Amino acid sequence: MELRVLQYFLAVAREQSIIRAAESLHLSQPTLSTQIKAMEEELGKQLLIRGTKGSRKVTLTEEGMILRKRAEEILNLVRKTQREIALSDEVVVGDVYIGTGETDAVRLIAQTAKKLYQTYPGIHYHIASGNAEFVMDQLEKGLIDFGLIFGAVDQVKYNCIEIPLTEVWGVLMKKDSPLAEKTAVSPEDLWDKPLILSRQEYSSGAFSSWIQRELSELEIVATYNLLFNASLMVEEGLGYAVGFDKIINTTGSSKLCFRPLNPRREAQMSIIWKKYQVFSKASAKFMAQLKET
């Protein structure tokens, strides 16, 4: 399977039309149709559902949607590799890719990048945000150089730097909520409350241990992977969101407030990268500055 043909396929998927895709690629329609048909024959699967004579629109089959996702990942990785190899030996320029969850510790990344910028303004940073599953998936596929994660690190697969900061768990709630009168939230305070949990907490069992109840005994009304979205649910009165402090601004005119958990729960953070990974010059400079910071 050629990269060129993957680009052709993505153009068809984007335009939802072989005619418009051919125009954007400066190809003839028969040439593009032949290339896509050859790809389907190579894979042994139909990738596109062609419209009837009266409709030129094409849609992706289930296999076509899988290929679209993988093709985007492959071509992104190719572009990243080309940029790294093409860099001059004399000048440090390039891209650093970092995956992270929502955390105030992103400030550490920003401080590191700011210090590097003074000497190496040609280094650019690309931050991909998501939950732990997303970060690990991106790291395994080589789409990011570093991941900022919480909890234990598999030191067989990854090198790491422990960050000398911890995140504090607590509850995000409306300022007029009954629990807002408390300085900290105990397990029994939440037994009868509608809760909004992160997907990671929901599946890990750690929250169940802290709250001393099985999740099936609790009223979990929603789950999230980004706390900002959960904060909007809290504002609308859906429930109480369990998450980290300092991510959502609760000062000034905010309708929300944050109360830590009691007993206290903290999360240790680490910057990780794959063992035996060969860094680009830009990524190596970032790592050296991060260690100093």
DSSP reduced 3-state for 192: coil
Whether this prediction's pTM lies above 0.85 is answered by no
Side chain identity at residue 229, one-letter code: N
Which tokens in the block code for residue 241? 């969101």
Return d(Cα 132, Cα 158) in angstroms, integer. Answer: 15
**One digit per residue, pLDDT tens: the chain, 293 residues?**
788 889 999 999 988 888 888 888 888 988 998 999 999 999 999 999 887 665 578 889 999 999 999 999 898 888 878 776 766 555 688 899 999 988 889 999 999 999 999 989 999 999 998 888 889 999 998 899 999 998 888 989 999 999 988 899 999 999 999 999 999 999 999 999 999 999 887 777 788 999 999 999 999 999 998 899 999 999 999 999 999 999 999 999 999 999 999 999 998 999 999 998 888 889 999 999 999 88
Query: How far is Cα of residue 132 from the mean position of the Cα atoms in its chain?
Result: 8
